[in-house]
Amino acid sequence: MYGRVNGVTVVGVRGHLVAVEAHVGRGLPSLTITGLPGAGVQDARDRIRPAVESARLEWPLRRVVVNLSPGTVRKEGPGLDLPVAMGVLAATAQVPAAALGGWAFAGELSLRGGLVPTPGMLSVAIAAARAGLRGVVVPAENAAEAALVDDLEVVGAASLAEVVGFLRGTWRPAAPQMPGRREDTKHAVDLAEVRGQAQARRALEVAAAGGHNLLMVGPPGAGKTMLARRLATILPTMSRDESLEVTQLHSVAGLLDGGLIHARPFRSPHHTVSPAALLGGGTAYVRPGEVSLAHHGVLFLDEFTEFRRDAVEGLRQPLEDGRVVVTRMVGSAVFPARFTLVAAANPCPCGFAGDPVRRCICRDDRLQTYQAKLTGPLLDRVDIRLVIPRLTRRELLGGQPGETSSSVRERVERARSLQRRRYAPLGFPSNAQLPGPVARREARISPDARELLASAVDLHALTGRGFDRTLKVARTIADLAGADLVEPDHVVEALAYRSASPVPELERAV
């Protein structure tokens, strides 16, 4: 007796269609799963029989062999519980085999026969649509995300019994509601809430307009976290494709609650985070890391100098390629990870270097070790460096109320569209992504401005690498001003965003 249904396994963020074959034959009662099942799938063996019996269906007291094909892909995750159960039910003719074709099944079963919310269902739906299937059957709680995929029927079922009822024609699913259709981009925070810090607000605007990474150096309590959180609110509104990618990543991580994500993500992992949690990984089920959860959004690393060296080093690949490749013995998983990095650090170990009132008490050698951590290959990819002073009460009260996020975002979007048009033939999304030589060729800088940049190099205010960074930031400032050429005014403002040391004599390395 033989049955065959479609399942989907998720590797990285990508769903792969899996043919689940079940054979019920003579022998002692047992369930064997073949076809490179991962530990999580092996785990399902003892869960499926109670689930089937709880649904008042019959479990064959014979030898059951389930094969997952193709055998070259390792199958992971709990989403294969349902297709395995359905395969056995098909093999024992408890569901009509004719009704199975065209559907993919996914979801984790409970011992009582319920379908519990399962990560990665959006990826499952995308894979099913790509394979040209008619629809997917997923846990009821995941129906909304699966329904984001166009031209695909979605059946959200709360239990195995309902799935069987659906195939027998005795139960009809409720149409999944479409929460993803409303254009809700409201963030919980707004740039207008920041008092004072006009220079930092302006720097955020420039960072958002050019996709530049940012380093903020300032004492505790200066408002670094507050500012970083608001960067996500002034980035351009996400396109539907971007939203889908973000939603898919959150779905795979099991963090999705509801439908499409519209707001750009803001992730701020603690500095004790492990490389696997930051970059993606895990032993049994490979999960996306914080860098991927920040995809199309902001990754904020507070207390940057305290992060583990191996974790920080690992950030270089996503910053360069916009994706993370997690390699395991059985294969590798790819997660997209194109985010804006915002790093924050104290000016020195005691936190008071450069403070006009408190005196820094750090020893010279510790200060130098600390400053060395604020340079290096990773921070070479940071274009904007900013000193955030702790405001006195007078300065705080004198601060003007700022612009709202939405009005800043309008300017950012205009600047971004200029960049997209300019770099369309080259395939770079924004100024920050340009490699140095390309930036020098494409920046469109006026002779006066070029002269000024060159003189900054002569004054030792800039290194060669600093030259490229400043040029790119100046290009962004020109884009914000709607200027065709980079003018001297844009260059001088960009020069002001290059220094991140409140201790001037230690600044030379920057």
Q: Which residues bind another protein (CB under 8 A)?
A: 196-199, 201-202, 218, 347, 353-356, 359-360, 364, 387-389, 391, 395, 398-400, 455-456, 459, 461, 477, 489, 492-493, 495-496, 499, 502, 504-505
Nearest residue (CB) to another protein, 70 versus 401? 401
Minimal distance in Å, beta carbon 227 to another protein? 13
CB 127 within 8 A of CB 16: yes
For residue 252, the minimal CB distance to another protein (Å) is: 41
Spatial distance between the Cα atoms of 490 and 76, rounded to a whole number of angstroms: 52
- Distance from C-alpha of 247 to C-alpha of 155, rounded to nearest angstrom: 19
b/e map of 216-226 (b: 16 or more CB within 10 Å)?
bbbbeebbbbe
CB of 349 to another protein, least distance (A): 14
User: Would you say 298 and 264 are in contact if contact means Cβ atoms under 8 Å apart?
Assistant: yes
DSSP H helices in 374-486: 393-398, 405-423, 436-442, 447-458, 464-480
Give CA separation, 214 vs 137, 300, 465, in Å.
44, 10, 16
Closest approach of Cβ 394 to another protein, in Å?
9
Nearest distance in Å: CB 500, another protein: 10
Tell me whether residue 388 or residue 471 sits nearer to another protein (CB atom): 388
- State which residue, 202 or 250, has the beta carbon closest to another protein: 202
Minimum distance from CB of 459 to another protein (Å)? 6
**CB closer to another protein, 5 vs 234:** 234
The smaller minimum CB distance to another protein, of residues 184 and 395, is found at 395
Cα dist from 179 to 250, 258, 465, 495, whole Å: 16, 7, 47, 45
Least separation in angstroms between CB 457 and another protein: 11
Whether the CB-CB separation of 380 and 248 falls below 8 Å is answered with no
* Contact by Cβ (8 Å): 120, 52: no
Question: Minimum Å distance from CB 309 to another protein?
Answer: 25
Tokens matching residue 248? 């898919």
Joined tokens for residue 428: 């770079």
Q: At 163, list the tokens.
A: 């799935």
| Cβ-based nearer residue to another protein, 81 or 302 | 302
Residues in the chain: 510
Closer residue to another protein (CB): 167 or 374: 374
Q: How far is the CB of 408 from another protein (least distance, A)?
A: 12
Residue 307 Cβ vs another protein, minimum distance, rounded to whole Å:
23
**How many DSSP H helices and E strands does the chain contain?**
21, 18
Nearer CB in complex with another protein: 109/453? 453
Question: Would you say the C-alpha torsion 25, 30, 34, 37 has a positive or negative sign?
Answer: positive
Q: Are 280 and 269 in contact (CB under 8 A)?
A: no
d(CA 162, CA 176): 15
How would you write 6-20 as a 3-class SS string? EEEEEECCEEEEEEE
User: What is the CB-side half-sphere exposure of residue 191 using CA atoms within 13 A?
Assistant: 25
Query: Which lies closer to another protein via its Cβ, residue 270 or residue 508?
Result: 508
Phi then psi dihedrals of residue 85, to 5 deg: -60, -45
Residues 6+ apart with CB under 8 A from 270: none
Instruction: Give least dist CB 490 to another protein, A.
Output: 8
Closest separation in Å from C-beta 489 to another protein: 5
- Name which of 205 and 242 has its Cβ closer to another protein: 205
CB of 78 closer than 8 Å to CB of 39? no
Secondary structure of residue 403 in the 3-state scheme: coil
Between 139 and 218, whose beta carbon lies closer to another protein? 218
CB nearer to another protein: give 96 or 398: 398
